[in-house]
A = this chain, B = another copy of it.
């Protein structure tokens, strides 16, 4: 079994127009910059994929990664908890121009909906957002005298994630808070693509230390010394 691919370009080659794409990362940590930029390269060369639905905690920062994807007009909809950041101009401009749709989801509900998709749970009840406008139109049910909101699983066609170590069977570890949404997105997407900072042989990752077992990963590509979104933005890098 060998899930490795030679380059980010190969890894993202199959992502279709209109696809729902989960992208790992929270703030500047964990964003799979090279995979996202490979997707932009493909779009610039071929005009595809467009009209993507992107699922991430944020809506991009600065002018790299998801922000660059949005700036290119590749994103039709964002599902996130916090689209308003220090520099989320790319999103805000499109949003205010009515060129991008937004589904705002509380962060814990976003995480749990993604996890539910990966775990085969089509719906669950949460206290979060009860009585607020984010629960409008949703089924409410009481348990033990307390009201809860029914939330649905959130699936994706593709997940793009960044990991630290990976083996060709797809087992992954992460680096500190770069872990964030990646393990659950890997579970929830039909096709999970991981960029790993170092590819190792199966068995080199201690079975106790595997965070994402290979069953959740479909393709991986080594990107040694990957870019760090926060560092790029502090250097005011634009992509492309």
Chain A interface residues (CB < 8 Å from chain B)? 112, 116, 119-127, 141, 143-144, 146, 148, 152, 173-174, 176, 207-209, 211
Report how far A152 CA is from B144 CA in the complex, Å.
11
- CB pair B119–A112 under 8 Å, yes or no, is yes
- CB pair B122–A148 under 8 Å, yes or no, is yes
- CB pair A120–B124 under 8 Å, yes or no, is no
Nearest B residue (CB) for A122: B143
Distance in Å from the Cβ of A176 to the closest Cβ of chain B? 7
- CB pair B208–A176 under 8 Å, yes or no, is yes
Task: Name the one of B123, B127, B143, B146 contacting A141, with C-beta atoms under 8 angstroms.
Answer: B123
Contact partners of A211 in chain B: CB under 8 A: 208
Distance in Å from the Cβ of A195 to the closest Cβ of chain B? 18
Q: Mind listing 28 A-B residue pairs with CB under 8 Å?
A: A112-B119, A112-B121, A116-B124, A120-B126, A120-B127, A121-B124, A121-B125, A121-B126, A122-B125, A122-B143, A122-B144, A122-B146, A122-B148, A123-B124, A123-B125, A123-B141, A123-B143, A123-B148, A124-B124, A124-B125, A143-B152, A173-B208, A174-B208, A176-B207, A176-B208, A208-B209, A208-B211, A209-B209
